[in-house]
Structure 1
Amino acid sequence: MGTISISRPDDCFSVFKLMVHVLMCLFASAIYANMHNLSAAFQEEGQGLDWTVFRLAAISGESDEISWKRDRETGSVYAGELGGGRWTTSITRAQLARWIVENIESREWYESMPALSTFSG
């Protein structure tokens, strides 16, 4: 798991991402540096490994059973470039868990860093 401060070549411009980038540099520089080290490690040393680093902006949702059941079935998950037309700024814990389970054995996202969020639309 990474943050949206990790940039990818296919990302679109987002004011929200710019704000996160600036705030992380100012107030969480160690976390910011760690995210970029994580990204570099997988890109430079990850050949031959099955890896996916998903990037998140914000995670919402409660941890009780009723909330998980409701949130798991509410809306689809967007996975792709950050700032794309259907990308939003958050995802629920239950949606994230569902996406991980559904994609754990899929090779679609191997060696990539998709931005995940609740699908807009």
Structure 2
Amino acid sequence: MGVGKLLVFGATSATGQLIVRRALELGWQVTVCGRRTLPEHSANADIKTVEGPIDDEETLREAISGQDVIISVFGPSSPSPFTNVDVFVPAYKKILATMRNEGVGRIIALSTLSVNDPEDRFSLLRWLLATALWAIAHKVWKAVNDISKVFEEEGDDIDWTLFRVGFLANGPRLRPIHGYVGDGTLGMYLRRADIAEWTLTQADKSPPEFVHRRPGICSVNV
């Protein structure tokens, strides 16, 4: 496809900021959309900003229209049981519907290793972590899994990829690799800078890779 127009949801998050910064370095035409805009994004003439509720149809239409690819790191960001998770499922339903209406066919969205994939094998560590999240922050666990169901049930005609992550860390890029739980290669450690690198590499692939799939990604030493 080549570098084109990219929309980033969740651009105010630590991971989203790295995606925006790296996308600009690579030559993407970047749009950010969210309830608020960071000063460094609004002051940057190379970034188009769309501000509004992420589940608002007019906001989504303005942001999504004309895009080539969407990268979304919008989702539950805290395991706290008090996290408000009610917005995520309705928002993703509207995002997919708006993509369909606007003729935008590609989205790469954040998920977690709490979500199962048919290509996964048993992993005691993953089972323990997912069970702990289910018990301690059930609403967050349910929201993450319900988002996955939205893509599966309502995204048949959309080229979606859910990339699943484990423990996130800051720091310079290492090397992102992808795989599936229990395959002997996928680890639980991932640097946010490697999310930016992996998602933007995937955004530039034509034809798209991992369509209707949920690969896990992790960081390894170069």
Q: TM tier, shorter chain? A: 0.7 to 0.9
Query: Quick check: 1:88 aligned with 2:187?
Result: yes
TM-score (norm 2): 0.47
The Cα of 1:60 is off from its aligned counterpart by 0.6
**Structure with more of its chain in strand, by fraction:** 2
Match of 1:4 in 2: 113
Secondary structure class of the residue paired with 2:162: coil
Contact kept? 1:14, 1:83, Cα under 8 Å:
yes
Secondary structure class of the residue paired with 1:20: helix
Contact kept? 1:58, 1:89, Cα under 8 Å:
yes
Match of 1:48 in 2: 157
User: Aligned AA for 2:161?
Assistant: T
Query: Quick check: 1:21 aligned with 2:120?
Result: no
Match of 2:19 in 1: none
What percentage of aligned pairs have identical amino acids?
24
Query: Quick check: 1:112 aligned with 2:220?
Result: no
Secondary structure class of the residue paired with 1:12: coil
Q: Deviations over 1:33-72 (max 9, x none)?
A: 11111111111111111211111111111xxxxx4xxx22
Runs of 4+ off more than 3 Å: none
Q: What 5-or-longer segments of structure 2 have no aligned partner?
A: 1-109
Secondary structure class of the residue paired with 2:204: coil
Change (3 A) 1:120 1:11: farther
Secondary structure class of the residue paired with 1:53: strand
Change (3 A) 1:60 1:45: same
Higher relative contact order (CA 8 A, sep 6+): 1
